[in-house]
Amino acid sequence: INIALNLYLVPRFGLMGAAFATLLGYIAMVASLIIINRNILPLTPNASLILSGVAAVALAYPLPSLTTFHLPVVTLLARLAGYTLVFLTSMLAISSGFRTLMLTAWRRAGSRFAFRSHTAKAEIIEECETSNAGQGVSQ
């Protein structure tokens, strides 16, 4: 789909045609994956979360777009940081479902990091004790 649309749209619309062809190609890919895999991985879309995401994207676009620096890479990085910050802030403000998801993810990541950190410390201490055994080195 993407290649066929590129062949048709690029000569007529240039770069915007290529971007639109890519967008339509990805929409077709996601739709076909949902249809093909619905028995394997049933998805239950959360309409309020989707609408909150669309609203957050609409809010996130205008402000960082005004940011411009002399170096294009600095502009890119500043806009990326701006989009991310405004999007996440908007989602946290708009959607209680997103707040719940983020809190759950934060707790899981924190518990995994704390467990690994404690386990890593224990492994390092054990390794030091076994490598220095019989050498008269105190810990």
Establish if 54 belongs to a structural domain: no
Establish if 23 belongs to a structural domain: yes
Given this model, what pLDDT does residue 128 score?
A: 56
Q: What is the mean pLDDT of residues 76-102?
A: 90
Given this model, what pLDDT does residue 138 score?
A: 47
Establish if 26 belongs to a structural domain: yes
Whether residue 65 contacts residue 79, with contact meaning beta carbons closer than 8 Å, is answered with yes
Q: Closest Cα partner for 106 from 93, 94, 92?
A: 92
Establish if 86 belongs to a structural domain: no
What range does the domain containing 9 cover? 1-43
**Overall number of domains in the chain:** 1
Establish if 6 belongs to a structural domain: yes
Task: Answer whether residue 109 shows pLDDT above 90.
Answer: no
Question: Residue 130: pLDDT band by 50, 70, 90 thresholds?
Answer: low
Task: Answer whether residue 118 shows pLDDT above 60.
Answer: no
Given this model, what pLDDT does residue 122 score?
A: 61
Given this model, what pLDDT does residue 110 score?
A: 80
| Average pLDDT in the chain | 82
Given this model, what pLDDT does residue 22 score?
A: 95
DSSP 8-state symbol, 41: S
